[in-house]
Structure 1
Amino acid sequence: MRKFGFNKEETTLDPFTDLLFNGLLGFAFMFAIAFMLIKPTPEEAKIDPDAEFIITVSWPDEHPDDIDTYVEDPQGNIVWYHIREAGLMHLDRDDRGNFKDTIMMDGEKINNPLNQETITLRGIVKGEYVVNVYHYLANTVDEIPVKVKVEKVNPTVQVIFYDTLFVNGKGTELTAARFILDKDGKVLSVYKKPKKLTVLTRQRK
């Protein structure tokens, strides 16, 4: 009579199954290690561009009017379309409305509708900065909304100022923002107090 019990041959694992199980286990382990290696740490996720602050001025796309940006640093340097580099400031893009916004490529006209100027601060100078917008050329009689944004981009992006101003004719100059930095680039205050920068640039010619 056959006795009830476990048969040794029946309970032995198939070598192929055992090998497959170990292979899958090893693959899962390597995947976990790889994921930990590629996952960015908080330090690696920080932005590190060639700028400390970025000032962006924009107005409606395809609008024909020319809006200019003026920025003064604590040492009295002023960057504008005529002087695109001053101190540690740089005018990266001078937009002239829809002037020269069309280029020819392979016999086809391509239009760039964006109206935007960008100024970067590529270093820190302790003190007050002044950001102005100036309505240089008016082709319309309409009031124009001008958006001004100041971002601190190092070590991480932080918007320190954002507002919409309205210019209503050639020669209109408005102070968008004034902000004060300490020696480490920390923003101590942001406020509005009118200051004409175009007058200062004319005096220096």
Structure 2
Amino acid sequence: MAMFRSSRRFDTDPFTDLLFNALLAFTFLFLVALMFLNPPAKSGTINPKADFMISVTWADNSPDDIDTWIEGPSGELVWFKNPQASLMHLDRDDRGMTNDTLLIDGRTIINPLNQEIVTIRGRPPGEYVVNVHYYNSKTLQPVPVTVYLAEVNPALKVLHYATLSLDRLGEEKTAVRFTIGTDGKVSNINTLEKSIVQVGKL
């Protein structure tokens, strides 16, 4: 018996193959580019240059000068004449409207923001006291001061946010006190008054 073997023949067009391969390559490159253009969002994370941040703000364009004082666990003080102690840093000292005028391209620019910022770049255990002091006044009026304490590493967490009033020149108030434990966790957040401003050094 004769055996017959049938075969199927496929006609291929080299130009079609080339177009198909080019389309595959283009799709692959597009997907790779899309991944780099849209990295996944990391909600609530920031660049960990500090562990804690304290922000003290008062009214924009106010000429009054409010100072931030912080006492660390060993009694060390951070203030405008001593901007660094241990791992505490006064990153910005604001003097009201003084030094807030900039000359850029021949134009005078005024920065209206009144804000002082202190960072703690580590977690030394112990109690921290944050006070605000009505250092200088042009208006002789009460000044509402907002104090913001946040843990910023590894993710942003607001620990304290409040507004208090400094009613007269020279007044000092405790904005917040908190304790960092040996495990690095924050506890005992309160506003019990404690004077730390050293008037004789001003």
Q: Distance in 2 between matches of 1:118 and 1:136?
A: 16
Query: What pairs with 1:1-205 in structure 2 (closer than 5 Å)?
Result: 12=11, 14-33=13-32, 39=39, 46-198=45-197, 201-202=198-199
1:27-49 residue CA offsets vs partner (Å, 9 max, x unmatched): 3234445655773596xx94333
Percent of aligned pairs with the same amino acid: 47
Worse overlay, 66-75 or 188-197: 188-197
Match of 2:3?
Answer: none
Aligned residues: 193
SS, match of residue 18 in structure 2: helix
Q: Distance in 2 between matches of 1:16 and 1:165?
A: 77
Letter in 1 for 2:118: I
Q: Distance in 1 between matches of 2:15 and 2:72?
A: 73
SS, match of residue 16 in structure 1: helix
Letter in 1 for 2:191: K
Name the TM-score, length of structure 2 as normaliser: 0.82
- Structure 1, unmatched stretches of 5+, are 1-7
- In structure 2, relative to structure 1, the CA distance for the partners of 1:167 and 1:204 (3 Å cut) is closer
Aligned-residue CA RMSD in angstroms?
Answer: 2.7
- Structure 2, unmatched stretches of 5+, are 1-7
1:69-113 residue CA offsets vs partner (Å, 9 max, x unmatched): 011111111101121111111111111101122133444322111
Letter in 2 for 1:81: F
**In the TM superposition, what is the alpha-carbon distance from 1:143 to its structure 2 partner?**
2.6
Q: Distance in 1 between matches of 2:139 and 2:72?
A: 32
Q: Distance in 2 between matches of 1:86 and 1:72?
A: 9
Q: Distance in 2 between matches of 1:123 and 1:107?
A: 42
